Structure 1
Amino acid sequence: MPATLDDQKRSAIAEKLADIKAIQNLIIDNEQQFLSECSDNHLRHRLEDMLEDDQKNLDIVETAITQYGIQAEPKPTVQEFVSQAKETLASSRLSMYEKIAQHELLKHGQVMSGLVVHKAAQVVGQDIEAAIAPLNTVNFENRAHQEQLKGMLEYLGTLELTGQEPKQGLWARVQDAVAAATGVVGSAVTQTSDKESADVMDLIFMDHQKARTLISEIRNAENDDQVKALFGQLYKDLVVHAKAEEAVVYPAVQPFYGDDTQELFDETAEIEGILNELKAMPSAGDQFMAKLKELKAMIGDHTRQEESTMFATIRKNMSSEEQQQLGMRFKETKQSLQSQM
């Protein structure tokens, strides 16, 4: 087996990503509960929109974990916190104001966790930055949600203290804050706002980017240990990617991509062959780097074909929904393969 990157730092990031996913599930559960308890149309509309965003964001978090390539469980303390939070927020003793206040703190925690993961990725490796890039969208939306939740708290707090809704001027100021926060998001959110989940082309492209980054890091590694560790991750990522494409993507595109599909099968077989040659070589020395250069060229040819002609054919022949469904199958296949390696 090749060396892997499951060292302390990378495993810690994997665990943090698992924590983020656990909290994201809690956030969704909370919002579903709030909707079941809330009859105020002002709040319901905002909660419904927020829930829709958060369900999409859960898919983005899962995508980032899959792209990262290291599966982990949430910390026991986080699992315990989630259990206690569910029990607390289900209590009829808490007012809606108190529940929303706790929810806003969860959103703040998610923002900070996302930022910390990005900072850690900058320290540990560019391949991690590439893998977790989708989390940017989640962070931006969570910030916008915080502003909306603050507006809800002002509304609920005034209502609970006085029995009356706040003046429209107050709510208008809150809406201005929401609009300002949402504007900061820019294209990072709007790029995917019309999608329920990442489509197959998004996922394949992210895999390609990560592979290119890892190869660059291997070529610039400072010592043999780094080469072994980085190649271990590259080997795992590319084998999983290739097998998932062979199992899910290529059969799906073959009816309209025709004979070119066989070329993709042949290229992935060649790539796996070169990977196994590299795996059997000493990682120090010119022979390894020469073979790595050959791998880089082979991957370059393969990814250019996929990102140009195959992607164009997918766009022409598959609806947006079909592209997303294929992406989901591709991601699930990768997750299954990762758990076996």
Structure 2
Amino acid sequence: MEETVTSPQNGDVIDVLVADHRDVTALIANIRSVTDPMIRRDLTDTAISELVRHAVAEEMYVYPVMKKYLPEGEKAVEHDIEEHKELEETMKRLEGLDVETSEFVQALNRLEDLLADHVQDEESEQFPELRRRVPAEELTELAGKVESAKKLAPTRPHPGAPNSELFHKLVGPGVGLVDRLRDKLTGRATK
């Protein structure tokens, strides 16, 4: 089954993923600076949604490329999937917490720490290796696939779900549809 791919606005998959990292990091900073509980909840839900979409797209398209091209690709992917699981568990916890509690701040701190570690690994080690080893046209094509995947991906964390390319491609769009319907019905912010 050939997938429909939209072209990225500009750049390659690394540019897309780095931009995602910057956006979510900025959202977390905004969450910290806002005192209004409704705005804080909306920003938190948006950050969670963006992180989930990012992770799903990586697992669908970037991780198979890492396994293929990087000498330690299998090991790097295993490590990244473990980090994704930790991030998902923390996001799931954040979803259920009152934004005005110390537990929320602790969970937000945990999310920020996990994300910083994950971003550091990817941007300082994995992304430069991908740029060195993967043909530029493939990285550009991957950007379109990642952007398309993010549009269909779930918007809520599902820590019990498999973190695999096959699961995301077969079941993910249905889960994403249900998540977006729940978001709409509950008024949950996702962008």
Q: TM-score, normalised by structure 1?
A: 0.42
Letter in 1 for 2:95: K
Hey, which of these two has a bigger chunk of helix by percent? 1
Question: What secondary structure sits across from 1:288 in the alignment?
Answer: helix
Letter in 1 for 2:37: D
Tell me the equivalent position of 2:50.
Answer: 237
Percentage identity across aligned positions? Answer: 26
Task: After TM superposition, list the pairs within 5 Å mapping 1:251-270 onto structure 2.
Answer: 251-255=64-68, 256=70, 257-270=73-86
More displaced stretch, 223-232 vs 295-304: 223-232
Give the number of the structure with larger relative contact order, counting CA–CA contacts within 8 Å between residues 6 or more apart.
Answer: 2
Residues in 1 aligned to 2:103 and 2:8: alpha-carbon distance in whole angstroms: 42
Q: 2:93 aligns with which of 267, 271, 277?
A: 277
Alpha-carbon RMSD: 1.5
Task: After TM superposition, list the pairs within 5 Å mapping 1:305-316 onto structure 2.
Answer: 305-316=121-132
Question: What secondary structure sits across from 2:111 in the alignment?
Answer: helix
Question: What secondary structure sits across from 2:24 in the alignment?
Answer: helix
Shift in alpha-carbon separation, 1:294–1:219, aligned structure 2, 3 A: same
Q: Is the 8 A contact 2:97 2:104 kept in 1?
A: yes
Shift in alpha-carbon separation, 1:317–1:59, aligned structure 2, 3 A: closer
Measure how far apart 1:59 and its partner are.
4.4
Give deviations 1:136-163, integer Å, cap 9, x for gaps. Answer: xxxxxxxxxxxxxxxxxxxxxxxxxxxx
Measure how far apart 1:317 and its partner are.
1.0
Residues in 2 aligned to 1:325 and 1:262: alpha-carbon distance in whole angstroms: 24
| 1:204 aligned onto 2:17 | yes
| 1:219 aligned onto 2:35 | no
Runs of 4+ in 1 over 2 A off after TM superposition: 338-341
Measure how far apart 1:222 and its partner are.
2.0
Residues in 2 aligned to 1:261 and 1:333: alpha-carbon distance in whole angstroms: 18
Q: Aligned pairs, how many?
A: 148
Letter in 1 for 2:83: E
Tell me the equivalent position of 2:139.
Answer: 323
* Structure 2 residues without counterparts, runs of 5 or longer: 1-6, 156-175, 181-191
> If you compute each CA radius of gyration, which structure gives the higher value, 1 or 2?
1
Tell me the equivalent position of 1:295.
Answer: 111
Letter in 2 for 1:294: R
Measure how far apart 1:233 and its partner are.
0.4
Give deviations 1:17-74, integer Å, cap 9, x for gaps. Answer: xxxxxxxxxxxxxxxxxxxxxxxxxxxxxxxxxxxxxxxxx842xxxxxxxxxxxxxx
Question: What secondary structure sits across from 1:281 in the alignment?
Answer: coil
Give deviations 1:171-205, integer Å, cap 9, x for gaps. Answer: xxxxxxxxxxxxxxxxxxxxxxxxxx420100000
Give deviations 1:93-151, integer Å, cap 9, x for gaps. Answer: xxxxxxxxxxxxxxxxxxxxxxxxxxxxxxxxxxxxxxxxxxxxxxxxxxxxxxxxxxx
